[in-house]
């Protein structure tokens, strides 16, 4: 399918610079409809403006914060028309995620959003798969992503458990005898649990390994400083099954001590142990009962029907419905160029293997040769059995001596009674 994009030679796509932060903040606030999300974006950009020099220094060499702020802008006549922010999704950087795309309303007709996406597809050569999450009600963003080859991978639903419901869940005693804290030594167990908890297509797109479940010393120090500054606490644990020697459940919750934001939890349960949902949620509620009354947010996917059924049963509120979309990059050619496999010649595909001359059609028929060889073998075997030179028909024809081959079969068949016995 040929992709027709309006090309504007005056638009320049380049990495972000410090002078672009004001334009990025304006685009982000305009494209964000929710007031709370717009406030969060402004706080993030103010923090970025304060630490811009340090993040720019980290982006020059390999380190855990090399791609913390990987952003490209589309500029025309020294005015920022659009921006795109991307980041690696896994540790091997085979899958990248589109964090957000913001384009001015008057520049959308020029295809600025598509040009930003295509630039990332071509510039980031190590990315084999791209991933993003978009709200189902954002029609313009859905049209942009589908136009550039993104397809739905899964449907996500975000739930919120109110503080009153959390208090009710905390009254029960969770039945978790083998609840253990998480460390780097448990990375293999968590990787196996993550692999078993999702369908093959999602697992292939995520492309995680054991390193994605480990935390190095530098990241741990930075996370500790961040938790101290934001007055948050991160608690994680997993349920170990002693007979199978495997992890069957995992949770991680970020608890906000100031009471201004809801707690955020991540939950992973093995499909064969869905009875863990009430126990793990009760454990999360008990962790939050000593803090100011706040809600708890978590997500569920369409391939987790037991989780969605349980959350509906206890009375959790749906707050957002999104689509998880993915796109594979099979080559780094310009995708606006239409390539037909029917028009390719062997000389174009294999340029180093040129034919020496034109092939000459021959009259050789392998079937005809096979029939002739079989007829000759049958003729020799029949002649040999009648003459009585061998006692068994199963002896191969290659054991015949030269004297037998010189005897004419017709002379042997003329008068069999005149044949003299050997000896």
- Tell me the per-residue pLDDT of 116-149, one tens digit each, with 9 for 90 and over: 999 999 999 889 999 999 999 999 999 999 999 9
pTM of this prediction?
A: 0.72
Query: How much is the pLDDT for 39?
Result: 63
Query: How much is the pLDDT for 62?
Result: 74
Query: For the chain, give me the number of helices (H) and strands (E)?
Result: 15, 12
Query: How much is the pLDDT for 89?
Result: 94
Q: Which of 165-179, 312-326, 394-408 has the highest mean pLDDT?
A: 312-326
Per-residue pLDDT at 188 exceeds 80: yes
pLDDT > 70: percent of the chain: 73
| 152-329 belongs to CATH 3.40.630.30 | yes
- Distances in Å between the alpha carbon of 47 and those of 41, 71, 97, 99? 10, 16, 22, 18
Domain ranges across the chain: 1-149, 152-329
The mean pLDDT value for 329-341 works out to 48
Q: Decide if 1-149 and 152-329 have a common fold.
A: yes
What is the CATH superfamily name and number for domain 1-149? Answer: Gcn5-related N-acetyltransferase (GNAT) (3.40.630.30)
| Residues 93 and 288 sit within 8 Å (Cβ to Cβ) | no
Which residue, among 138, 128, 147, has the nearest Cα to 323 in the 3D structure?
A: 138
């Amino acid at each position: 399918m040929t992709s027709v994009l309006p090309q504007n030679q005056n638009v320049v796509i380049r990495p972000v610079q410090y002078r672009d932060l004001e334009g990025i903040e304006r685009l982000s606030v305009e494209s964000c409809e929710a007031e709370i999300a717009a406030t969060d974006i402004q706080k993030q950009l103010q923090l970025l403006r304060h630490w811009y020099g340090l993040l720019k220094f980290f982006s020059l060499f390999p380190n855990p914060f090399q791609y913390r702020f990987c952003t490209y802008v589309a500029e025309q006549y020294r005015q920022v028309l659009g921006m795109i922010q991307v980041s690696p999704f896994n540790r091997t950087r085979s899958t990248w995620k589109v964090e957000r795309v913001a384009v001015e309303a008057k520049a959308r007709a020029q295809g600025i959003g598509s040009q930003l996406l295509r630039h990332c597809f071509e510039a980031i050569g190590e990315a084999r798969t791209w991933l993003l999450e978009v709200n189902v009600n954002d029609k313009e963003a859905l049209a942009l992503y589908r136009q550039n080859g993104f397809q739905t991978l899964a449907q996500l639903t975000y739930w919120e458990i109110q503080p009153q419901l959390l208090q009710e869940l905390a009254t029960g005693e969770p039945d978790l005898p083998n609840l253990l804290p998480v460390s780097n030594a448990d990375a293999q167990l968590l990787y196996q649990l993550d692999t078993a908890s999702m369908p093959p297509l999602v697992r292939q797109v995520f492309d995680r390994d054991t390193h994605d479940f480990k935390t190095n010393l530098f990241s741990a120090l930075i996370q500790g400083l961040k938790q101290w500054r934001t007055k948050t606490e991160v608690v994680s644990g997993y349920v170990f099954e002693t007979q199978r020697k495997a992890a069957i459940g995992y949770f991680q919750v970020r608890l906000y001590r100031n009471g201004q934001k809801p707690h955020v939890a991540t939950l992973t349960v093995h499909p064969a142990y869905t009875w863990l949902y009430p126990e793990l949620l009760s454990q999360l509620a008990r962790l939050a009962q000593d803090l100011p009354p706040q809600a708890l947010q978590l997500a569920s996917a369409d391939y987790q029907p037991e989780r969605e059924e349980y959350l509906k049963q206890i009375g959790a509120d749906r707050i957002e419905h999104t689509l998880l979309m993915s796109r594979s990059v099979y080559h780094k050619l310009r995708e606006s160029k239409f390539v037909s496999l029917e028009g390719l010649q062997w000389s174009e595909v294999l340029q180093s293997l040129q034919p020496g001359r034109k092939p000459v059609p021959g009259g050789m028929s392998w079937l005809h040769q096979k029939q002739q060889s079989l007829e000759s073998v049958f003729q020799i075997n029949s002649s040999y059995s009648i003459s009585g030179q061998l006692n068994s028909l199963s002896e191969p024809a290659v054991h015949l001596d030269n004297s037998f081959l010189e005897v004419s079969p017709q002379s042997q068949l003329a008068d069999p009674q005149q044949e003299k016995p050997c000896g």
